[in-house]
Amino acid sequence: MSEHAGHGHGSREHEDHGHAGHGEHGGHGEHGHHHREAESLLSLRVRALESLLVEKRLVSSEAVDRIVSAYEEDIGPHNGAKVVARAWVDPAYKERLLADGTAAIEELGFGGVDLRVVENTPRVHNIVVCTLCSCYPHALIGLPPVWYKSFEYRSRAVREPRVVLREFGVELPEDVEVRVWDSSAELRYLVLPQRPAGTEGLSEADLAELVTRDAMIGVAQAQAPSSAAL
């Protein structure tokens, strides 16, 4: 069974199977092709908007470059990764994070978002979607990927989450419950991935390097570094 939590107003159960006409679409390769087309259209629209703003002298191209660079390099998933790493090494912080995500991230200097954090465990796997648009905790994990905003992901993640997860390379045992959380303008969700086995000797900073954007959305799992890197 998969749990779909609707905009923080309780939840309703969905059968965890595919629907007629909505199969696996040939795996992640075809999945990616669909999104490349959407990305091309989005890029054209963004460039047109940027050109208009620059032409009207409402913004400079250098300012746009600085903002994009900040989200890609400084913000990106790095803030969220720091939150996850702290929760992995500090049980008291993890408890506060799961109880009140908004207040807990403010302890680390990250605010401006009403947040609920949901924890992956050996028995439960969480995945985040926004079925209405593309609500997303930008301050923690940067710019949303194109596929997150696509209608295909927004609809299929609710109807057939296990199929979508397999397309992203996440294979879960049948006894693991999949919970789908629907972000809204009022409340955003962040997945707390399971800490990879064999990372007991890593520092908090090293652990943060293992946390990816996709793992905090729930379409990937945090992976331990190779033994050679430990």
Q: Which of 43, 60, 69, 133 is catalytic?
A: 133
Active site residue 135: yes
pLDDT of residue 195: 98
Active site residue 203: no
pLDDT of residue 182: 96
pLDDT of residue 162: 97
Q: Which of 11, 134, 155, 184 is catalytic?
A: 134
pLDDT of residue 75: 65
Q: In this structure, is residue 174 part of a structural domain?
A: yes
Can you give the length of the chain in residues?
Answer: 230
Q: Which of 2, 135, 150, 183 is catalytic?
A: 135
Q: In this structure, is residue 40 part of a structural domain?
A: no
Mean pLDDT by 10 residues, the chain (230 residues): 45 35 35 41 69 80 74 74 98 98 96 94 97 88 88 95 97 97 94 96 96 96 72
Name the residue among 1, 17, 10 with its Cα closest to residue 181: 10
> Residue 175's domain spans which residues?
2-35+77-217
* Number of domains comprising the chain: 1
Q: Which of 2, 130, 150, 183 is catalytic?
A: 130
The model carries a pTM of 0.72
Active site residue 226: no
- Give the separation between CA 216 and CA 153, rounded to whole angstroms: 16
Structure tokens at 123: 């028995």
Q: In this structure, is residue 48 part of a structural domain?
A: no
pLDDT of residue 49: 77
Does residue 14 contact residue 158 with C-beta atoms inside 8 Å?
yes
pLDDT of residue 65: 75
